[in-house]
């Protein structure tokens, strides 16, 4: 088995009200950052997992995200994988 580092990002889906994102956006604009058009606030999760190969590691990450890490009704996720030596 190989070890992989997985970085998972979970964000509210487009069209879902992001109250935290709106608060951060408003605060940035009030501090003079008028170029900010939209802010989305989510979660970052780093995992180290064992798998036979990158494909299996990706399948495991998707199962974990679908089962526990993201609420599929209101959130989407993306991930990157890195093989660890």
pLDDT tens-digit series, residues 20-55: 999 999 999 999 999 999 999 999 999 999 999 999
Mean pLDDT in the chain?
Answer: 97
Enter the DSSP assignment of 60: H
* Percent of the chain scoring above 70 in pLDDT: 100
Residue 57: Cβ-neighbour burial (10 angstroms; 0-12, 13-18, 19+)? buried
Residue among 38, 46, 48, 47 at smallest CA distance from 12: 38
CATH number at residue 9: 3.30.1280.10
Q: What pTM was estimated for this model as a whole? A: 0.88
Report, as an integer, the average pLDDT of 8-31.
97
Q: How many domains does the chain have?
A: 1
**Band of the pLDDT at 85, cuts 50, 70, 90?**
confident
pLDDT at residue 17 is higher than 90:
yes
Owning domain of residue 40: 2-84
CB 13 within 8 A of CB 75: yes
């Amino acid at each position: 088995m190989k070890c992989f580092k997985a970085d998972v990002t979970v964000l509210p889906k487009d069209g879902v009200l992001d109250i935290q994102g709106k608060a951060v956006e408003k605060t940035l604009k009030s501090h003079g950052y008028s170029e900010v058009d939209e802010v989305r606030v989510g979660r970052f999760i780093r995992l180290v997992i064992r798998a036979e190969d990158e494909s299996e590691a990706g399948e495991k990450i998707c199962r974990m995200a679908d089962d526990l890490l993201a609420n599929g009704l209101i959130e989407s996720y993306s991930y990157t994988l890195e093989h660890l030596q």
